[in-house]
Amino acid sequence: MTAEEFRQAAYEHIDWIAEYFESVRQLPVMTNQSPGELIRRLPAAAPENGESISDILADFKSGIFPALTLWNHPRFFAYFSVSSTPPSILADLLASALNVNAMLWKASPAATELEQVTLNWLRQWLLLDEQWFGIIYDTASVGVMQAIGAAREWIAPECRVKGMRAGLTVYVSEHTHSSSEKAAITLGFGQENVRKIPVDHNFRMRADLLRDAIEADLAAGKTPCCIVASIGSTSTAAIDPVDAIADIADHYRVWLHVDSAYGGSAAVVPEMRPIFKGAERAHSLILNPHKWLYVSIDCSVLFTRLPEIFRRASSLSAEYLKTGEDDQVINYMDYGVQLGRRFRALKLWYVFRFYGKEGIVGMLRESLRLAQLLKSLIEADPNFEVLAPVDLSLVCFRHRSGNAVNRRLLAELNATGQAFLSHTVLHGKYVLRLAIGNFQTTEGDIRGTWSTITALAKGIAATEPALSEA
């Protein structure tokens, strides 16, 4: 492909993306594909000879795009709503073109130093002091595995050479994201050594029961190693009592990791900073800019007060990776299992500069406001109830007539293509989750979706009154 041919092809792609942004509100959020449909439609073997980019783009538009659920849609409310903003897309384009590898400072000095600079900016927005060191991983799932690995290095350093010590224990709540338990499985702690601490009526970890569990484990000869507390749990966006948990972590000398993959972004908003109370006492914490900080997947930031422990846990220096500057620079490969690392700091830099702190705070505040608006609409309707506190931008609610009605309501709503919500189960009740966070979501999107929900619910209640249950 010549430079001129590349230019023309790139313009076509950029035009398509610009049109996507202009028309996305009219597009169905969820695809109605059935499993295997795309595989059956595409050739089973790769082409022998190259094809033109125009043909490939045409097939993308007609075949691939319609088979996608549109995460970057203002009415994508499932799981946690995410945004790939224009500055993030442009930065990823440059990063792909340059294809630099941010493994060692020497391999690409600006990639390393921009990571230091942008994470320093984010650290200041979160009001964390200078001792906090930041690193970008691809996902929070990998970050929590690194954090629990660091906890193991801190508590039982012999494991690095001798292998796992039996009875090292990890504490999560019943509502902690499954990535923590997966990390414990991967690292060899074993599921039997993952304690799921019960939650209170607001789905927050019970600090008193955490203390009891640690005491019981100590009495049984186990070694408490790591506690994972959440600021914004996945089911309900619950905020654990991190300060009280930090007291326990200090008392028993257990590593405290804070999972604020989703909720941490809200702490950038000055009046929301109290949600971070206690987080500054953690040993590590995670915030995913690819969830609610307007950066494309993937980009997950881990901050730690003990970078040396991460280094001890993860570095292994091979001769061919040694450079002359190793003692003066950060080589990010030393702080995780990954050697090759994408140049993710570039999209943070683009997004932080394009919107500025005020722009980002403004968008976060709007998501928070829309969540409160939706909560008030639900509370004003006697047929519905809100099931969990709305502290952030997630609203958990249900129709009062029971699980079957709610299951059908969610399926029918998603089938309209007008919005996409997901669900959870709280105290045995099937609950709809509506997460707000896309940069293009407006009040009209929320009111429109609520009208669709209430209209569908009326229809379901009329046709299937027998479905009503306690």
Query: What's the min distance (Å) between Cβ of 298 and ligand PLP?
Result: 7
Please answer whether residues 287 and 260 qualify as being in contact, where contact means their C-beta atoms are separated by less than 8 angstroms: yes
Of 141, 337, 162, nearest to 257 by C-alpha is 141
Nearer to ligand PLP, 261 or 313 (CB): 261
d(CA 269, CA 245): 23
| Shortest Å, Cβ 141 to ligand PLP | 3
Positive/negative CA dihedral, 363, 364, 367, 373: negative
Considering the complex, what minimum distance in angstroms separates the CB of residue 211 from ligand PLP? 23
* 313 contacts: CB under 8 Å, gap ≥ 6: 146, 149, 150, 152, 153, 160
Residue with smaller CB distance to ligand PLP, 416 or 422 = 422
Q: Compute the least distance from the CB of residue 139 to ligand PLP, in Å.
A: 3
Select 137 or 350, whichever has its Cβ closest to ligand PLP: 137
Using CA atoms, how far residue 200 sits from 175, 215, 257, 427, in Å, is: 11, 20, 20, 11
Helix and strand tally (H, E) in the chain? 15, 11
Task: CB nearer to ligand PLP: give 302 or 409.
Answer: 302
**Distance in Å, CB of 421 to ligand PLP, minimum:** 15
Q: Which is nearer to ligand PLP, 287 or 419 (CB)?
A: 287
Residues that bind ligand PLP (CB under 6 A): 79-80, 139-141, 177, 179, 230, 232-234, 259, 261-262, 288, 300
Sequence length of the chain is 470
- Least separation in angstroms between residue 80's CB and ligand PLP is 5
Minimum distance of ligand PLP from residue 218's CB (angstroms)? 28
CB-wise, 234 or 401, nearer to ligand PLP?
A: 234
Please give the distance of CA 454 from its chain centroid, rounded to a whole number. Answer: 29
The residue (of 105 and 262) whose beta carbon lies closer to ligand PLP is 262
Residue with tokens 């927005």, as numbered in its chain: 125
Q: Which two tokens stand for residue 390?
A: 């709305």
Q: Which residues, 6 or more positions from 92, have their beta carbon under 8 angstroms from its beta carbon?
A: 296, 346, 347
Q: Which of 419, 415, 412 is nearest to 463 (CA)?
A: 412
